[in-house]
Amino acid sequence: MANLIDIRRRIKSVKNTQQITKAMKMVAASKLRRAQDRVVAARPYAATLEAALASVASRVAPAADGTPAHPLLGLREEKRVILVIVTGDKGLCGGFNANVQRAAGHFVRDAKARGVESIRLVTIGRKGHDFWKRRTFEVVDTRPGIFSRFSYEDAAGIAKALSQRFVDGDVDAVWVLYNEFRSVISQIVRTRRLLPIELPAASSEGGTDYLFEPSPAVILDRLVPRNVEFQLYRILLESNAAENGARMTAMDGASKNAGELIDSLTLTYNRARQARITKELIEIVSGAAAAAG
């Protein structure tokens, strides 16, 4: 009897867990739809902004001493680096957060191998904050809980602080590690250099000569900071959509596994109950036969 009671309790417990995972899947699916729409809308703007920046930068000659047209475009040897690690605020999303942390470890080892002397961190997301605060790395900025309700202003604030450090010479490069959203079941860990800005090759526009108002130098001064801010904003959008996709997939798998476990436990319960009934019938028949004899 005790065995049957334990099995019934286990079935009830798994059913309760399945209800939770199904609810979490539905919540992640609703958030994913909005996050995916924001990512899809941001990607063309980000690409166009980079192309416009490359076109304007090609028309601004560097100074005679080799100084770049804008301080954020200055490429120099990487000795002091800041790594921005973008994770989620919550777990239960498969390997979403663990993959980023593992990639960060690989980045640090590779950076040390190529001669980087100092690596400092900026953590975005609660999981990254909790993971790296227990390590020996210096964390210059942390933003736990940012994805509960983040906006362009949040990304702009982080980008401005990083840009200021780069302009002041505090760091030689800023890299970002994040999950790029590909589909509901696919997220790819990306490593991207945020500073100095990597400009795509300017397209040949058929030799057309444009008149700029204001001058290309003034436009460049406005475009470069905006590009850094928006590229970081797009990265946060990508990570947010990827997190919801990973959680939706993980909770769907958990719900299916719970269903399979319920079926297995139900089969075990029915077999145990049938065996108990059969045993009781045998005892009754044996007792009756003994009494008749």
**Same domain (yes/no): 157, 123:** yes
Question: Each residue of 199-255: pLDDT tens digit?
Answer: 766 555 545 566 667 777 788 888 899 999 999 999 999 999 999 999 999 999 999
Residue 293 has a pLDDT of 60
Residue 208 has a pLDDT of 57
Q: Does 144 fall in a domain?
A: yes
**Same domain (yes/no): 11, 26:** no
Nearest Cα neighbor of 94 from 21, 35, 190 is 21
Return phi, psi of residue 74, to 5°. -75, 115
Q: Does 205 fall in a domain?
A: no
Burial of 61 per CB tally in 10 Å (0-12, 13-18, 19+)? exposed
Residues with catalytic annotation? 93
**Same domain (yes/no): 104, 14:** no
| CATH number of the domain enclosing 281 | 1.10.287.80
| CATH number of the domain enclosing 242 | 3.40.1380.10
- Give the residue-averaged pLDDT of 69-77: 85
**Same domain (yes/no): 106, 89:** yes
Residues 6+ apart with CB under 8 A from 52: 223
Measure the CA–CA gap between 105 and 196, rounded to whole angstroms: 22
Residue 159 has a pLDDT of 94
**Same domain (yes/no): 119, 132:** yes
**H helices present in the chain, as ranges:** 2-57, 96-113, 126-132, 152-167, 216-292
Residue 155 has a pLDDT of 93
**Same domain (yes/no): 154, 278:** no
For residue 116, what are the domain limits? 21-200+211-247
**pTM for this predicted structure:** 0.85
Q: Does 189 fall in a domain?
A: yes
Q: Does 292 fall in a domain?
A: no
Residue 123 has pLDDT above 60, yes or no: yes
Q: Does 127 fall in a domain?
A: yes
Helix (H) or strand (E) holding 123: strand 118-124
Number of domains in the chain: 2
Q: What percent of the chain has pLDDT over 70?
A: 92
Q: Does 291 fall in a domain?
A: no
**Same domain (yes/no): 35, 66:** yes
Q: 100 pairs with which residues across the strands?
A: none
Q: Given the structure tokens 């049938």, which residue do they identify?
A: 274
